A = this chain, B = another copy of it.
């Protein structure tokens, strides 16, 4: 047994040098045309996805893990090739299904190097360069946001970044919560717009505040949080003997891409002594814009904000920043003595160890891929790409308006690069007087059916969604991202393809 183990281990050790050659195979696979499909020449030739139902896919791929396996490098290459075949290609230029799309090549390059060095950013000791790079990005973003001091951290994602805001605000309001919890306290209450991200409710659940104490504030016709309704709901909460402590503004709502009036909300927050956090996970990219920076006007007055550069900007997943205007609250709030990791008798300035600020212990380097992009092109270039994406979404609106019998906009003018619309198939084209409730109900079934066609044809992917706040059923929500860098003609393809697929369905 003992000698068995030794010979197996010796065998493994000996093949390791050869095993590292697998990286060349991966590069080869990634460079083949069907993997990324970032090049416009491939968009009409390669599918975004070769969609199979879960049970079919299980038959096609041998995904089981066994105790005994022995595969050569070329076997592994073949396995990876199958994985690629049936995976969705988010880099394909016709993938517009999420708030992220194609990557910037420098983002992927940074991600690959990050993975190869495999550092954890809890201490400077283990991630010297990456610790400084994280600090550099945080101070750059603070500057862009108008924070004169400020602090921040890269978090596990937008939901996590929003939680940081809540935890900080709660700690500032009642520092004792850190040690003794919220038991016996009057209910703390959060205000966020009805169109805001569900992560706020989920965070309220996790943090022990309760999802019902996350109060939905009405939105106006632009999709912004109503200041009047907010004021009303704050008064109501106080009357119920609850403790308002937190307003979440949204800069770029998930569906409509609406921007709350941050300056107006800052006034309300100031009046009631509430923490103002901005969920700019989607809209934070406006910070870089040359033309649309005013969308986030007033951000400098927010106590904190979250921004996911992996959305719209082409940074690979995950890349999420939490920023706060306070320079030392983050460390005070989140530090828990951990003597094995954050020794104070180290041989360097331990203020560079960021682990104490984080809710994570081990923390992947998410800063470098973004830094490499910014370093390669300068952040001004991304501002031009943000502007282009928004400009193209205005053009898309115009093109939709030019086909009034076939398409209808959910909102007359979107502010950001989200565009929401219905396709009206031939079978449903009626005069306006015939647009009854029943007609609308039928119209709401169109997007899911076209979506199915999209998945099977692999030619285009656009998300659909209902919108409860407006009592609307399913419509398409297309988000224009910085990558691919679209040309106007592509927008015509998109509308034509929706029409083509739309007429393949029965309603």
Contacts and interface: CB of A to CB of B under 8 A. Distances in A.
A76 to B, nearest CB: 5
A328 B447 CA distance: 30
A116 B378 CA distance: 23
Interface residues on A, range: 35 or more
A379 interface: yes
Interface string A183-210: 1111110000000011101101111111
Contacts of A103: 118
A179 B213 CA distance: 7
Nearest to A290: B5
B198 A105 contact: no
Interface string A157-182: 11110010001001000001111111
B53 A38 contact: no
A380 interface: yes
A12 interface: yes
Contacts of A180: 187, 210, 212-213
- By CB atoms of chain B within 10 A, which of A31, A131, A477 has the most? A31
A109 interface: yes
Nearest to A391: B5
Number of identical protomers: 2
Contacts of A340: 254-255, 463, 465-467, 477
Interface string A419-453: 00000000000000000000000000100100110
A474 interface: yes
Given A12-B381, A183-B182, A157 B362 contact: yes
B347 A451 contact: yes
Interface stretch (A55-63, A231-239, A244-252, A393-401): A55-63
A109 B38 contact: no
Given A23-B108, A156-B360, A67 B380 contact: yes
B157 A117 contact: no
A66 B466 CA distance: 41
A411 interface: no
Given A105-B22, A128-B52, A207-B207, A83 B113 contact: yes
A112 interface: yes
Nearest to A366: B364
Interface stretch (A132-140, A221-229, A260-268, A494-502): A132-140
Contacts of A211: 178-179, 336
Given A53-B348, A198-B336, 4 more contacts: A23-B112, A86-B129, A91-B116, A158-B361
29 contacts: A5-B387, A13-B485, A13-B487, A19-B106, A25-B109, A30-B113, A53-B348, A54-B128, A65-B371, A66-B378, A69-B374, A69-B377, A70-B378, A76-B372, A80-B372, A87-B128, A97-B125, A97-B126, A119-B317, A157-B361, A157-B362, A178-B210, A179-B210, A182-B208, A183-B184, A183-B185, A199-B361, A339-B465, A340-B465
